[in-house]
Structure 1
Amino acid sequence: MARPGRSRLAIALGSLLLLAGILLIIQGGALLSVDRPVRARSRDVDDTQPVRPVAPVAGAQRLEPARKVAQDLIAPPRLDPAEIERAEPRPPLSELGLAVPPKTPMPRDWREVLLYRPVVTSSAMFEAMGRKVFISGVRGIDLDSSCSFHDVTWPCGVRARAVFNSWLRGRALHCFVPPDVERFAVAAPCRLGKQDVGAWLVSNGWATALPSGIYGKAEATARDAEMGMFGPAQ
């Protein structure tokens, strides 16, 4: 009779242990589940505690609150086409805003060459390397010409040639000339370094500007300043 009682007790105890194990497994699975959100602990905040102000961050930009703009305020006003009147363009603020006159196109077969050891023959003409070149855009002074200033006459033609020759000092000139096979007297633009030879002659009063040239203002300046042939004897 003792053995059946012990067996039943062992079975009951085993069942309890099995049930306890199942409950532990279920509870552990619930705690380790990744699908179930974990709630953070809530703490009671005392409203009477003072809130510390946050210090501003150095270099941070202050953001202005956004504001609403009515659409009718930013829309362009309605205009009647009949009330629109075309106004004349305003004059330029200075001569710097004016368009530069176009340069005279040179023949395609002409090239810029360096003419060495130029010899001045008049106030706007020289010879170099077998070529006779007239400075284009200007009118030179003849050698036998005389100028008068305050009733005093002086040989400005000879003086103009001497000044031009002294300015060149035998230095080479860059000129646009035709090919070597056509070595006849030509009117060509020349420069000494970066200096326009025609502009130098006219602005210093040793030549006059042609009506179709680009040195009209330079001649007016030379006349006002009484430069070269427009001034006293030199």
Structure 2
Amino acid sequence: MDVPGCARLVIAVGGLELLFGIALIMHAGALLATDRPALATRVENAGQATRSEATVLVGRWREARRVAEDVVAPPPIDLSEIERIEARPPLGDLGLAVPPKTPMPGDWGETLLFRPIATSSATFESMGRKVAISGVASIEPEATCSFHDVAWSCGQHARAAFNSWLRGRALKCVVPPEVERFAIAAPCNLGKQDVGAWLVSNGWAITLPTGIYGKAQAVAEDAEVGIFGPPR
């Protein structure tokens, strides 16, 4: 096959480049084989040069010139010249701490009484205490009521209604911290509900003359609920 002249020239040039590349590779291999100590020496010299440059930089940093040291840095202080003076008086009484309150006899806090059991319509027992709801008169279990000349055992129903409303839930009462064996009158809450107000407004207790539930009892009487209503 007759090959054109330009093609023969390209093939020749390519062959020369291939031969030149092979020669370079062989020369590099020979250098690596025969001159390894020299190569290692050059690498080590380069590392030493780098470390020397770092040492020069650190030295220059340490030799940096300080500028306005007396302005930027705080001046030296002689501790013997420091004098402690009294604090200034307060600007007003608003921020002053109040003295602790001295507890007085009868100044009791609220106590949670768990698992209360009603013994009448306005008394209960809990945690060894006997508590009567203050401000109201209880309807005893043996009491009877009359509605349109019909008598019925309102005392038992009143106690049952109180127990059903409590359902064993804890009452928060203002009682003395000591466990007293005698009954004590105390205001109590069930959650946010005033127990005395609930009893009187539902007709299961009667407000005392000195109590605060007069309006609640008037509403119960008009509505004929509880002991003011028909037999249950």
**Equivalent residue for 2:149, pick from 137, 148, 151:** 151
Deviation at 1:181, TM superposition (A): 4.9
Deviation at 1:183, TM superposition (A): 4.3
SS at structure 2 position matched to 1:144: coil
Code of the aligned partner of 1:176: V
Identify the residue that residue 48 of structure 2 maps to in structure 1: none
Q: Deviations over 1:66-125 (max 9, x none)?
A: xxxxxxxxxxxxxxxxxxxxxxxxxxxxxxxxxxxxxxxx95441100000001100000
TM-aligned CA distance change 1:124 to 1:113, over 3 Å: same
Q: 2:128, 2:179 within 8 Å by CA — same for their partners in 1?
A: no
Runs of 4+ in 1 over 3 A off after TM superposition: 106-109
Identify the residue that residue 57 of structure 1 maps to in structure 2: none
More helix by share: 2
Identify the residue that residue 229 of structure 1 maps to in structure 2: 227
Identify the residue that residue 64 of structure 1 maps to in structure 2: none
SS at structure 1 position matched to 2:119: strand
Question: RMSD value over aligned CA atoms?
Answer: 1.4
Q: Deviations over 1:23-52 (max 9, x none)?
A: xxxxxxxxxxxxxxxxxxxxxxxxxxxxxx
Deviation at 1:182, TM superposition (A): 3.8
The count of aligned residue pairs is 129
Distance in 2 (CA, whole Å) between partners of 1:209 and 1:190 is 15
Distance in 1 (CA, whole Å) between partners of 2:179 and 2:155 is 32
Q: 1:123, 1:141 within 8 Å by CA — same for their partners in 2?
A: yes
Identify the residue that residue 135 of structure 2 maps to in structure 1: 137
Deviation at 1:152, TM superposition (A): 1.1
Identify the residue that residue 207 of structure 2 maps to in structure 1: 209
Code of the aligned partner of 1:155: S
TM-score, length basis structure 1: 0.53
TM-score, length basis structure 2: 0.54
Code of the aligned partner of 1:231: G
Deviation at 1:150, TM superposition (A): 1.3
Identify the residue that residue 177 of structure 1 maps to in structure 2: 175
1:1-234 correspondence to structure 2 within 5 Å = 108-234=106-232
Distance in 1 (CA, whole Å) between partners of 2:131 and 2:179 is 15
Q: Deviations over 1:112-142 (max 9, x none)?
A: 0000000110000000000000000000111
Distance in 2 (CA, whole Å) between partners of 1:223 and 1:156 is 15
Distance in 1 (CA, whole Å) between partners of 2:165 and 2:175 is 22
Distance in 2 (CA, whole Å) between partners of 1:182 and 1:126 is 14
SS at structure 2 position matched to 1:171: coil
Code of the aligned partner of 1:179: P
Code of the aligned partner of 1:206: W
Deviation at 1:174, TM superposition (A): 0.2
